Amino acid sequence: MNALLIYPEFPETFWSFTHALKFVGKRAAQPPLGLMTIAALLPHAWKKRLVDVNVERLRDRDLDWADVVMLSAMHIQGESLANIVERCRAKGLRTVVGGPIASSVPAAELKADHVVIGEAESLIAGLARELEQGTAKPVYEAAERPELTTSPLPDLSLIKMNRYSTMTVQFSRGCPFNCEFCDIIEIYGRRPRTKAVAQVLRELDQLREAGWRESVFIVDDNFIGNKVRAKELLRALAEWRWQYKVDFEYVTEASLNLADDPEMMQLMKDAGFRSVFLGIETPDESGLIACNKLQNTHRSLLDSVALIQSYGMQVMGGFILGFDTDREDIFDRMVEFIQKSGIPIAMVGLLQALPGTQLFRRLRGEGRIVSAGRGNNTDSKLNFLPHMDAAKLMEGYHSVVKQIYGCEAYYERVKLYLNRIQQQPEEPGQHAESQHWVTRDNLRALVTSIVRQGVLSQQRWSYWKFLATAATRYHRCFGVAMTLAVMGYHFQVMTRKLTKALEMQAREAEMAKSLPAESDEQAQ
């Protein structure tokens, strides 16, 4: 069998980093690890090719080569997925769809010949056999979530590594918490399952041997979901780091109670973790309680963030607007919190009721669901009826995004964060790390940044002021400062686009309001 694995296109969002990736000559942030894992699970005798539409074109001759097309997608990739499935059907090609979208959208809507819901480790052998025999079923769903020790070494040979800015490795799936809006726990469960340490080291060896030397995203739902296993891994990573003298910059996702565990933070620092994404959600404690994000309550969120940053880790934060508990002052409070936090990359989105979540079930019960949504919480479209007036919520959301991604406000946060990491005593090896930043890709990014942000941009004076400060006051972390400046450019472009989209939405709403009046006049 010839299996063609396809990853559909992501729309441009705050999360796509499209406008920053161009600076370093990369086409996408991360490769499709789900498909690389599936490829390794398929029979050895099968021939496999992978096309990630985010980094290359899907050509007719790729489709002509294939006996079966296997697609993976998140909900947000739904439109591109539908187009590819349609293209395959027109050629009479058999399609199999899997990935998180299969847990969010009813199988029939995906229009594929076969749909795989959930994790595939335990069922792929049977699926492959039945595809060969022509007896494959329309829908597959594993009876149990697999242990990750059964997950294979992902097939790295199938991707064009140099087109991505970050490689990915997964250590665990699932999260022990129980936030109402979360679909992670519905898809991957509340019992964190981990790979063996040796499995992870083999994945890192694979990357090292392939020549990768940049950042590695440990794509766990919550890296500290199982603290004992996470610490075991971290000790091994620190050893691996010194043994091979390879300094991957690790990025991961964790819950905010990381701040309660100094040993964990120190181990993460020693292993080379440089960034961590935290779901902070809201500075309003009543909102945290209402959505059952109890691990974020009874604490100063700002202090917790600052403590994690003091271990040399950049905190990226997820924030949500639109909780039932939000009052009109939430927008100012959100901006104030973000500005004080020193979190440059603050992902503020509108609450989404994702199908399959506790939130979706509650709102459906209350008659407040208006659509299944599109899996995008930054496109200014709500899929439920909020408590606050929807127009006010939208206006407030827009004003938050505009304020935090205004050039001056953004650079202020970057400086606050740099202050915190600069305060740390210089460690042995840190000098080498700042020299490590001087790579061809980074120098190219610096030149592009100077041209786009320093010459062509209307905010060029803010940029030059920041650059001068970075080169003098923060010279020890100049690389981090420049990387953040470049990322800021992406957010500025996206904010401009969001502003345009919202203005258009407002104009359309105005027109819709005036229409019945006109037809009344006409009727008279």
Options 164, 177, 273, 331; binder of ligand SF4; rule CB under 6 A: 177
Q: How many CB atoms lie within 10 A of CB 494?
A: 21
Exposed e or buried b per residue across 398-413, where buried means at least 16 C-beta atoms within 10 angstroms of its C-beta: bebbbbbbbbeebbbb
How far apart CA 34 and CA 328 sit, in angstroms, is 41
Supply the minimum distance, in Å, between the C-beta of residue 349 and ligand SF4: 12
Which of the listed partners (ligand SF4, ligand B12, none) does 342 bind, with a CB threshold of 5 to 8 Å by partner kind? Answer: none
Contact 446, 485 (CB under 8 A): no
Looking at residue 226, the DSSP 8-state letter turns out to be S
Strand order in the sheet with 314-321: 166-169, 215-218, 249-254, 273-281, 314-321, 346-350
The tokens describing 447, both together, are: 């030149």
Nearer to ligand SF4 (CB atom), residue 173 or residue 241: 173
Does the footprint of ligand SF4 cover residue 347 (CB under 6 A)? no
Task: Identify what 255 binds: ligand B12, ligand SF4, none; CB under 5 to 8 Å per kind.
Answer: ligand SF4
Task: Return phi, psi of residue 72, to 5°.
Answer: -125, 145
Q: Say if residue 501 is exposed, middle or buried (CB neighbours under 10 Å; 0-12, 13-18, 19+).
A: middle
- Binder of ligand SF4 out of 112, 185, 251, 446 (CB under 6 A): 185
Residues that bind ligand B12 in the complex, under the rule CB under 6 A: 10, 13, 15-16, 29-30, 32-35, 37-38, 70-72, 74-76, 96, 98-101, 103-104, 116, 119-121, 168, 170, 173, 183-184, 188, 217, 219, 221, 349, 375-378
Residue 188's binding partner, choosing from ligand SF4, ligand B12, none, with beta-carbon cut-off 5 to 8 A by kind? ligand B12
Shortest separation between residue 285's beta carbon and ligand B12, angstroms:
23
**Given the rule CB under 6 A, which of 135-143, 176-184, 425-433, 476-484 is the region that contacts ligand SF4?**
176-184
Q: Of 260 and 441, which CB lies nearer to ligand SF4 in the complex structure?
A: 260
* Partner whose binding site includes residue 283, from ligand SF4, ligand B12, none (CB under 5 to 8 Å by kind): none
Among 184, 271, 280, 288, binds ligand SF4 (CB under 6 A): 184
In whole angstroms, what is the distance from residue 406 CA to residue 403 CA? 5
Q: How far is the CB of 12 from ligand B12 (least distance, A)?
A: 7
CA 247, chain centre distance (Å): 23
Shortest separation between residue 375's beta carbon and ligand B12, angstroms: 5
Site for ligand SF4 in 298-317 (CB under 6 A): none
What is the closest distance, in whole angstroms, from the C-beta atom of residue 221 to ligand SF4 in the complex?
Answer: 5
Q: Which does 173 bind (CB under 5 to 8 A by kind): ligand B12, ligand SF4, none?
A: ligand B12
Closest to ligand B12 by CB, 153 or 447: 153
Residues 384-413 that bind ligand SF4 (CB under 6 A): none
Closer of 378 and 492 to ligand SF4 (Cβ): 378
Closest CA to 70 of 55, 54, 52, 57: 52
Question: Between 53 and 237, whose beta carbon lies closer to ligand B12?
Answer: 53
- Binding of ligand SF4 at residue 495 (CB under 6 A)? no
Burial class (CB in 10 A: 0-12, 13-18, 19+), 224: buried
- Residue 275 interface partner, choices ligand SF4, ligand B12, none, CB cut-off 5-8 Å depending on type: none
Closest to ligand B12 by CB, 173 vs 420, is 173
Asked if 221 touches ligand SF4 (CB under 6 A), the answer is yes
349 binds, among ligand B12, ligand SF4, none (CB under 5 to 8 A by kind): ligand B12
| 121 contacts 17 by C-beta, under 8 angstroms | no
> Which among 190, 254, 199 is positioned nearest to 227, based on CA atoms?
254
Q: Which stretch binds ligand SF4 (CB under 6 A): 181-189, 268-276, 485-493, 496-504?
A: 181-189
* List 39, 55, 169, 179, residue binding ligand SF4 (CB under 6 A): 179
Q: What are phi and psi of 55, to 5 degrees?
A: -125, -5
Kindly provide the b/e burial profile for residues 240-269, where b requires at least 16 CB atoms within 10 angstroms of the residue's own CB: bbeeeebbbbbbbbbbbbbbebeebbebbb
For the bound state, the minimum distance from the C-beta of residue 291 to ligand B12, rounded and expressed in Å, comes to 14
Among 70, 182, 414, 480, binds ligand SF4 (CB under 6 A): 182
Burial class (CB in 10 A: 0-12, 13-18, 19+), 363: buried
Which residue number, 183 or 326, has a Cβ lying nearer to ligand SF4? 183
* CA–CA separation, 454 and 253 (whole Å): 33
222 makes contact with ligand SF4 (CB under 6 A): yes
For residue 118, give the DSSP letter.
S
Residues paired with 7 in a beta bridge: 52
Contacts of 410 (CB under 8 A, 6+ apart): 344, 404, 488, 491, 492
Structure tokens given for 329: 């002052």
- Count the residues of the shown chain that bind ligand SF4, applying the rule CB under 6 A: 11
If the CB atoms of residues 319 and 463 are measured against ligand B12, the closer one turns out to be 319
Q: Binding to ligand SF4 by residue 187, rule CB under 6 A?
A: no
Question: What are the DSSP E strand ranges found in 24-93?
Answer: 47-52, 68-72
Do residues 347 and 317 lie in contact, with contact meaning Cβ atoms separated by under 8 Å? Answer: yes
Binding site for ligand SF4 (CB under 6 A): 175, 177-179, 182, 184-185, 221-222, 255, 279
